[in-house]
Structures are given as C-alpha cells and as structure tokens.
Amino acid sequence: MTSNGIMMSCPGIDGVLVVEGNDLGAEYKPYGSEVSMPSDKKDELLNKHPGDMDIDNAKDALEMELIRKEVIGKGVPYLGLCRGSQMLNVAMGGTLYFDVATEVQTSVKHIDYDNYDGYRHKIDVVPETPLAGWFEEQYEAAGRKTFELQVNSYHHQGIRTLADNLEPMCFCQDGLVEGYYDTTQHDPAQGKYRVGLQWHPERMLSDYAGCARVYQHFVEAAASHRRLILEREKKVTRMKIVGQAVVHVNPANKHHHVRRDLTLRTDSRHE
C-alpha cells in the first residue's frame, strides 16, 4: 500500500509519534548545501553505521506525508524522538549534519556500540522551556536555572540549523541541539504540542520522573485536539426544521386545506 493509501485508511489522527530509524533520504534535502563529504569518507561511515545509512524509502515517504499533511497542515500534536526530531526539523526547513563526529569538533560520543543501551552523556536544559517544567525536580534543585541531565544517545547525525519557530530546549556540551519545541504550537490543554528530542525518554523511565511527563503531555494534547474537533463539528452541524406549505384540494367540498410538513435537515455548512 502507498503512503497515500495508508493515510486514507487512517482518518481522524489525533497525534503523531515518530521515533528511530535510518537516515533520511537525500530527496528531502536534509543537509542543505552545507555538506561536502568525500566518497571515501562516506564509505568509511557506511561501514561504521551500516544499519543507519541504508535508506528506507517507504518509511521516509509515509512519515514525511504524516508530518506535512497532519502535523504542519492540520496542527495535529507531534512528538519526534531521535530520527523523528530530525525529520520534523527538515520538514519545516531546518538542516542536519551528515555525520556529527566528522563535522563537529567534539569529544562527546553520540553513539556507543559497545555500551548501546547503557551509554549516557550530559545535556544542559534551558530554563523556562517545557522540558525544564517536565523535569521539575531537577529544575527546582538547580534554582530554576540551567541544569544537567544524563541522557541516552543512539545517533550519528544531528541538527545543524533549526527551522523557524523551533526553539532549543537542551544542548549537548559540544553545542549540538538535543531537544526543541515549536513556540507557536505548545499548549497541551488546547491540543497543541510539537516537540523533538534527540534522545529516548521511554528508555529512561526509571532514571527521571520527567521522562513519563514527556508522554503524558503529548497524550493530553492529542486528547484535547480530538475534543476540540468534536466541539467544532457539533457547533457547525445544526438540525434545522424547515416548514413547507403544501396545498391540498378536496373536490367534494371545494375547500382548500393547507398542511405544513415538517422536514428535518442536517446542515453541515461551515461558518
């Protein structure tokens, strides 16, 4: 089934969650014009990250369709993790590093195949952002100033430039953006949530209470998004009673009898 066919079979999407996967295909121009990687270096990277650098065209097409039509087009709440954070940034006009270790002068490992799930590195969380609020225990302990978290890391690519309206919520110590949110789309109670994290909070639920709150606020936004849609549909769908005068002639008494038929009609016109 094509990506469009899958979309047609899933009406009424309340939230979109995009997680890990392979590198995004070149047709989406994820690197802008800023990357110039020698072919021998690409071969070296392919040997180092074989699973990541195999492009999955079907996955790319489906997820980009969801992001463009549902998230950007209709305002459906979005949570992007790892590749999912990179995809939204690209869809909105941002760019990526082809390979962080090659293009960024850093001593920080962003993937450790020898300690895959156990590896952590530090990030600095920006005050007065949704992420700071979700990790309120650490935020309060730091006097509501910048504070550190230890997060997992499974990526060799990363965000080079953030798209318009996206604001960073946390940075790795080498300056790489590790999380962001859309400042125009953040009010979970009103169905607005557009967040990208380079790390996986679902694999750190025992590390910090804030990891669960990332999802709780996403689910709240999805539920609110559906509630508001139903409220709008209820408002614009009115049941109108239309009176129709019908004249009946009785030949026996030659009296005209006027009867009013009541017709129930659904009017779905939008205001």
SS3 45: helix
Query: Which residues, 6+ apart, have CB-to-CB distance to 219 below 8 Å?
Result: 15
SS3 150: strand
Strands (E), 131-165: 147-151, 158-161
**Among residues 44, 65, 167, 200, which one is catalytic?**
200
**Among residues 44, 65, 167, 202, which one is catalytic?**
202
Q: Under a CB-based contact definition with an 8 Å cutoff, are residues 13 and 226 in contact?
A: no
Q: Is 200 a catalytic residue?
A: yes
Query: Which residues, 6+ apart, have CB-to-CB distance to 164 below 8 Å?
Result: 92, 93
Q: Is 170 a catalytic residue?
A: no
Q: Is 110 a catalytic residue?
A: no
Residue 138: how many other CB atoms lie within 10 Å: 16
**Among residues 82, 170, 172, 211, which one is catalytic?**
82
Q: How far apart are CA 44 and CA 163, in angstroms?
A: 30
Burial class (CB within 10 angstroms; exposed 0-12, middle 13-18, buried 19+) of 211: buried
Which residues are marked as active site? 82, 200, 202
